[in-house]
A and B are shown apart, each in its own frame.
Chain A
Amino acid sequence: MSVTTAPRGAPPSIEIDHARLRYGGREIFAGLSLTVEAGRWTCLLGPSGVGKSTLLRMVAGLERPEPPGHVRAGDGKPLAGRIAYMAQQDLLLPWLSVLDNVTLGATLRGRRPDAERARILLAHVGLAAREADPPSTLSGGMRQRVALARTLAEERPVVLMDEPFSALDAVTRLGLQSLAASLLADCTVVLVTHDPLEAVRLGQRVFIMAGRPAQLIEASLPNSPIPRNAADPAVLDSQATLLHQLLEIGGAESTLE
Chain B
Amino acid sequence: MTVARPLIVIVGLALLWQAIAWLADLPPYILPGPIRVLEAYGAHGLRMLGHAGITLIEMVLGLLIGALLGASLALTLAYFRPVRPWLLPILVASQAVPVFALAPILVLWFGYGIASKVVMASLVIFFPVAAATFDGLRRTDIGWLDLAETMGASRWRRLRHVQIPAALPAFASGLRVAAAVAPIGAVVGEWVGSSAGLGYLMLQANGRMQIDVMFAALLMLAVIGVALYFAVDFGLKRAVPWLGEARAPNGGPTT
- A residues sitting closer than 8 Å to B (CB atoms) are 57, 60-62, 80-81, 83-85, 87, 89-95, 104-105, 107-110, 134-136, 138-140, 143-144, 147, 154, 167-169
Contacts and interface: CB of A to CB of B under 8 A. Distances in A.
Interface stretch (B16-24, B84-92, B100-108, B139-147): B139-147
A92 B249 contact: yes
17 contacts: A81-B152, A89-B250, A90-B249, A90-B251, A91-B144, A93-B144, A93-B166, A95-B165, A95-B168, A107-B157, A107-B161, A108-B151, A108-B154, A135-B251, A140-B253, A147-B251, A167-B251
Contacts of A138: 254
Q: Is the interface of A mostly helix, strand, loop or mixed?
A: loop
Nearest to A87: B143
Interface in B13-51: none
A80 B150 CA distance: 8
Nearest to A81: B152
A134 B143 CA distance: 19
Contacts of A136: 242, 245
Given A108-B154, A144-B251, 16 more contacts: A62-B149, A81-B152, A87-B146, A89-B143, A94-B242, A94-B245, A107-B157, A108-B152, A109-B151, A109-B153, A109-B157, A110-B157, A136-B245, A139-B254, A143-B251, A167-B251
Contacts of B148: 108
Interface string B94-112: 0000000000000000000
A220 B115 CA distance: 78
Contacts, number: 93
B157 A95 contact: no
Contacts of A154: 151
B158 A108 contact: yes
A4 B139 CA distance: 37
B249 A84 contact: no
A162 B253 CA distance: 18
Interface in B123-147: 141, 143-144, 146-147
